[in-house]
Structure 1
Amino acid sequence: MSTRGAAERISTATGYMLARLGDFARQRIEEEVDRWGLTGKQLRVLAYARDAAMSQRDLTALARMDRTTMTAVINTLERLRYVSRVRNTADRRKYLITVTEDGARVVEEVLAHMVKVEADFLGPLTPVERSLLNNMVARLFAAHDHECA
């Protein structure tokens, strides 16, 4: 039996610290993207759609959101005039989500700002440590991402 208390054991467990750190990062992201009237989910969808026009179904799969959440996100982005629904010429039953000029501008502004926010968040780490952390997190993500689908 461990001589350390349960509170110390849980609070120093890597998984617990990663979960808490994720909570801190999510809160920080939400606070920052709110300056543009967006949520983190809305920014993610806007960024994906910025790279290529795609169907709402494809965006739902890529962003790993349920259909109801995606519909609400797209409706809000459309109301903000950051995206539009355009009939797919290849399949007239479907619509493509396309980013407007305003939406593209906002994505670039927010992402440029988020580089500074991330640098501040990772400030306690050296550049080498930041690179190592990114590589390790990417490896863990690649190993477990399919489990989260």
Structure 2
Amino acid sequence: MSTTAPELNGRLGHLLKHAQARLAALNAEALEPFGISGRELAVLLVIAGQDAPSQARVAGRLGVDRTTMVAFLDTLEGKGLLARRPDPGDRRRNVVVLTDHGTDTLRRATAASDEAERRFLAPLTGADAATFRSALTAVASYDGPA
């Protein structure tokens, strides 16, 4: 960012854009050996965090439409990371579960992604990194007046 126009250095949108781009690059590099993207890691994390969720529930948790969710699941299923099965309680819907390979990949990819985040936050002290995360969480989840 040192080659950026000095007038932009204090602009929040500019800073967030460049910070996100740096984190995305670090994360992509960390996840490359596992053959998944950051968005695919998010899908796996949501699936692992629930007891056999439906496709619709996973889409809702991620805030993506059904068509996008189906594409993600098709890709991850093609990689052998998850399986879709009829819901035993309601055969009209499918549930998604991680395969053994998916569980192992999730564990290792999460560790690699965590390391990428540590590298991203390296310029900050531990306390500053925690404050940064807390501040981003507050801003991202704020639903007050515009």
Give 2:100's aligned residue.
Answer: 101
Identity of aligned residues (%): 24
Is 1:66 aligned to residue 45 of structure 2?
Answer: no
What is the total number of aligned residue pairs between the two structures?
139
Give 1:119's aligned residue.
Answer: 118
Shift of 1:19: 2.0
Is 1:33 aligned to residue 28 of structure 2?
Answer: no
Give 1:3's aligned residue.
Answer: none
Deviations 1:67-93 (A, max 9, x none): 222111101111111100011011110
TM-score relative to the length of structure 2 = 0.87
Give 1:45's aligned residue.
Answer: 43
Task: Supply the AA of the counterpart residue of 1:60.
Answer: A
Any idea what SS the aligned residue of 2:42 has? helix
Any idea what SS the aligned residue of 1:115 has? helix
In 2, the alpha carbon distance for the partners of 1:119 and 1:133 equals 13
In 2, the alpha carbon distance for the partners of 1:50 and 1:104 equals 8
In 2, the alpha carbon distance for the partners of 1:138 and 1:58 equals 22
Structure 1: give runs of 5+ residues left out of the alignment. 1-6
TM-score relative to the length of structure 1 = 0.86
In 2, the alpha carbon distance for the partners of 1:57 and 1:96 equals 9
Task: Supply the AA of the counterpart residue of 1:64.
Answer: G
Tell me how large the CA RMSD over aligned residues is: 1.6
Shift of 1:9: 3.1
In 2, the alpha carbon distance for the partners of 1:105 and 1:50 equals 11
Shift of 1:138: 1.1
In 2, the alpha carbon distance for the partners of 1:91 and 1:82 equals 23
Structure 2: give runs of 5+ residues left out of the alignment. none
Shift of 1:12: 1.8
Any idea what SS the aligned residue of 1:54 has? coil
